[in-house]
Amino acid sequence: MKIRLGSAFMKPQFAALLAVLLLNWLVFPGFFDIAWRDGRLFGSLIDVLNRGAPVAILAVGMTAIIATRGVDLSVGAVMAVAGAVAATCAVAGQPLIVTLAAALGIGLACGLWNGLLVAYLGIQPFVATLVLMVAGRGLAQLVTSGTIVTFSDPALVFVGTGSLFGFPMPVVIALVLMLAAHALMRRTAIGLFIEAIGTNLSAANYTGLRSRSLILAVYGFGGLCAAIAGTIAAADIRGADANNAGLWLELDAILAVVIGGTSLLGGRFSIPMSVLGAVIIQAMNTGILVSGLPPEFNLIVKASVIIVILILQSDRVGELVAGWKRRSTVLPQADQAKSKTQVNIQAPEKMG
Amino acid sequence: MTSSQQAVLAATAITKTFGAHVALQNIDIAFRPGEVHALLGENGAGKSTLIKILTGAYTPDSGTVLVDGTPMSFATPLQAQAAGIGTVYQEVNLLANMTVADNLFIGRQPRRFGLVDQRTMARDARRILAGYGLDIDVHAELSTFSVAVQQIIAIARAVELSGKVLILDEPTASLDRSEVLKLFEVIRVLKARGLAIVFITHFLDQVFELCDHATVLRNGRLVGSQPIDDLNRTTLVRMMLGKDLSLHEDAVAGIEAEVGESLMQFSAYGLGGKVQPFTLNIHKGEVIGVAGLLGSGRTEMARLMFGIDTADQGELILDGKSRKIRSPRDAIDLGFGFCPEDRKADGIFGDLSVRENIIIAMQAKLGWFRTLSRDEQMEIAGHFIEALDIRTASAELPIKLLSGGNQQKAILARWLATDPRFLILDEPTRGIDVGAHAEIVRMISRLREDGLALIVISSELDEVVSYSSRIVVMRDRAMVAELHGADIAPDVIVQTIAAQPTSSAPFEGAAP
């Protein structure tokens, strides 16, 4: 177990995160400062986690979807729908439990709709979820009647801006969701089944997996995660903006999953690594912000860093590096072999 | 030898290996102008490898390809095309969204003042197609025509581009009877024009109807190459399926005696257009061999029994009850297992570990939440790795790294872990090495002794004869015979397969 944990920390994603954090520290020396004020933690690092939470939550659901060889482009729009529903409920004076149930329920329904199109009607995930990506914003606008609905229900606002054990609520929610989802995947057979479906759908069907219902459930879970993220985003700004809430975040979520090492071709996946990917993305965003670099550079810097991370992860580069290492270490290996034989020769003498 | 004429395309002593697998061994073959030459063999016999070498898609390890007696070495299919060798594949390889004329002339359109000369192109296209008896609108999109017409257009293009040799790779697979006749007319015209035509098919009728010469490959070796007049159906089937049969008379084992009680009965079970209704009573402790040529409906029958396709007629009685199988899941719940023919596409989960590949069917049976612990998984996988002698460095290795034989054993282990009572094995020994081959054959006998009912589909007659208690023969998507006792012999099987089919044409089947 210890060895597996150790090798997990050897993954390039950790190196990438470390590099990004160090770079941030170089351009902004106060980056690692953390202060305790009013019963909660403050600092750039905490800010990275807090700002990264919505994408991390999206990435949790997106990981499972991508592992089935699918994709969900609608999560940003579903965030807007859930935010709009939550805001409307709060304005109507509903208690928190009703507000949350309504927001999460609509997210789940959106996800199941996607799953229905993909699993039962056989529509390509890209196209199937594109429908809701476009229609979702329209739906959100209908809910808010085209205005930005603001609210001040303290219970709902707490979800976005409160704190627990010193950590911002979004961070706590993301962490709990990540751990729960990871346990659900790995303590049950669901994770294995998802990987089997993503690796070879035909073989999965021949093996008796109920792949359709599992794919449906996975998209439903993705919608649920999007609704959680949408509720947090709305609670954070105390308002629902149908046009801009969650805008383009589906792309960040997909990117987080890819950075986390899950292949877009499906198969093996890791939810914690995807969350790490989301943290890396947010660390870059924050870094560019605090560095005082002109905002025009933001997207270009981000793209460059991402390219570097993806190159580091690519199998082909891995092979090249391994080949280069082999060639340059031929001599030492030969030496090792020699010393081993010497040991062998000496061993009987010792015994005698 | 009737063939005094010099071969336009010939290959001598061709050998090709892929890793440890010998795909072709020392093949000599010659194609003469004005002759239709059938190239026959089961899946994996080496037909496509040979075609790919003749057309420059592969380079042989040794041996020579000669065009008009001159040794050639093609680096690309384009060079083969320039040397006069054209190929038409089963799936029409044209651009569906462009016009007929475009398809005929793409890459070599007639030009006028630097622009494509549409008028000349249309005129030439009409002239070319008239030679094939086709009078169609050459400005229409290709996709608006039937597959048969597209096929002829593909042939026309190949002949225009090359003009000496035309290779047709299963051109009739998706055509109906009248379309096949139309295609045959075209082929006869080309033959009269002096082209050498290579015709790949697995329909024996077509061979006798159209071809002048037949060459049979099996397991990468040349079994025989003779003028069609010297052959009959029986010899041809024997060449495709069996070795020298007289050597294997002792392989006829009388294991029918100790068959157990009845397990289930398929009665008039069938699917319109795919499998004619069949009736089969399956007992515990017996192996039913299924013999038949490629496309005879043997795999389709297996798919029906396992619920991959759903039967639309007949019924299954199991445990005294009528059962419906609508999905593999239904079949698995009844205690069925299925090792598919295409191991890579339908069997293994390449990136998953050997352990996961073995336990997955059992876990699927248990459902999402009744999870096998890691220790239980290790124990089950370890047990089967040892019992079936699956050679792997570790149970955690991705299964794609294992050899074909060991992958097959792992899939067998996957089903054995579910404690099945009925196993369907579709070509369980295809594409695996000799050692693993013998082990799998032994395993089939052992499972039978343990009381399992097995259905084994195989093209290897010696093999199927050695372990079957009964043999079912498939032809033209129908079960045509059930062989017992002394009839379980390669000779009888060959006779049964080769027997003249009834009046209905094979490729029409029971069209809906």
What is the set of domains in chain B, with CATH numbers?
9-97+141-231 (3.40.50.300), 247-498 (3.40.50.300)
Q: Which of A74-83, A307-316, B46-55, B488-497 has the lowest mean pLDDT?
A: A307-316
Rounded to the nearest angstrom, the gap between the alpha carbon of residue A244 and the centroid of all alpha carbons in its chain is 20
pLDDT band at B269 (very low <50, low <70, confident <90, very high): very high
- Tell whether A301 is covered by a domain: no
CB contact under 8 A, A200 and B356: no
**Amino acid identity of A82?**
A
Asked if residue B502 has pLDDT above 60, the reply is: no
Decide: helix, strand or coil at residue A306: helix
- Bridge-based pairing of strands A40-43 and A34-37 is antiparallel
Backbone torsion region of residue B109, taken as left when φ is above 0, otherwise alpha when ψ lies between -120 and 50, otherwise beta = beta
Rg of chain A over Cα atoms, rounded to whole angstroms, equals 24
- Tell whether A234 is covered by a domain: yes
Residues of chain A found within 8 Å of residue B352, distances taken between Cβ atoms: 192, 195-196, 199, 267
pLDDT band at A341 (very low <50, low <70, confident <90, very high): very low
Q: What would the pLDDT profile of B390-439 be if each residue is shown by its tens digit?
A: 888 889 999 988 888 889 999 999 999 999 999 999 988 877 766 777 88
- Tell whether A4 is covered by a domain: no
Residue A210 contacts B, CB cutoff 8 Å: yes
Asked if residue B127 has pLDDT above 50, the reply is: yes
- Tell whether A310 is covered by a domain: no
Nearest Cα of chain A lies from the Cα of B375 at a distance, in angstroms, of 13
Measured CA to CA, the distance from residue B8 to residue B195 in angstroms comes to 9
Separation in Å, CA B436 to CA A274, B88, B171, B369, B405: 42, 37, 35, 36, 5
Nearest Cα of chain A lies from the Cα of B189 at a distance, in angstroms, of 43
Measured CA to CA, the distance from residue B166 to residue B148 in angstroms comes to 17
Q: Which domain holds residue A255?
A: 18-32+42-291
Domain count, chain A: 1
- Kindly provide the b/e burial profile for residues B129-144, where b requires at least 16 CB atoms within 10 angstroms of the residue's own CB: beebebeeebeeebee
The residue among B345, B372, B342 whose CA lies nearest residue B359 is: B372
Query: φ, ψ for residue B95 (rounded to 5)?
Result: -100, 105
- Tell whether A176 is covered by a domain: yes
Measured CA to CA, the distance from residue B316 to residue B322 in angstroms comes to 6
Measured CA to CA, the distance from residue A265 to residue A267 in angstroms comes to 7
Rounded to the nearest angstrom, the gap between the alpha carbon of residue B376 and the centroid of all alpha carbons in its chain is 39
pLDDT at A37: 84
Measured CA to CA, the distance from residue B193 to residue B175 in angstroms comes to 24
Walk across the sheet containing B85-88 and list its strands: B85-88, B165-169, B196-200, B35-40, B213-218, B221-227
**Interface predicted TM-score (ipTM) of this complex, two decimals:** 0.81
- Tell whether A334 is covered by a domain: no
Rounded to the nearest angstrom, the gap between the alpha carbon of residue A16 and the centroid of all alpha carbons in its chain is 16
CA pseudo-torsion sign A143, A147, A148, A152: negative
pLDDT at B434: 67
- Tell whether A56 is covered by a domain: yes
Nearby residues of B503 by Cβ (< 8 Å), 6 or more positions away: none
Nearest Cα of chain A lies from the Cα of B414 at a distance, in angstroms, of 9
Mutate to test the interface with B, among A192, A193, A197, A206 (most CBs of B within 10 A): A206
Asked if residue A217 has pLDDT above 90, the reply is: yes
Q: What CATH number does the domain containing A269 carry?
A: 1.10.3470
Q: By CA distance, what is A200's nearest residue in B?
A: B349
- Tell whether A308 is covered by a domain: no
CA pseudo-torsion sign A103, A108, A109, A111: positive
Measured CA to CA, the distance from residue B476 to residue B497 in angstroms comes to 10
Q: What would the pLDDT profile of A121-131 be if each residue is shown by its tens digit?
A: 999 999 999 99
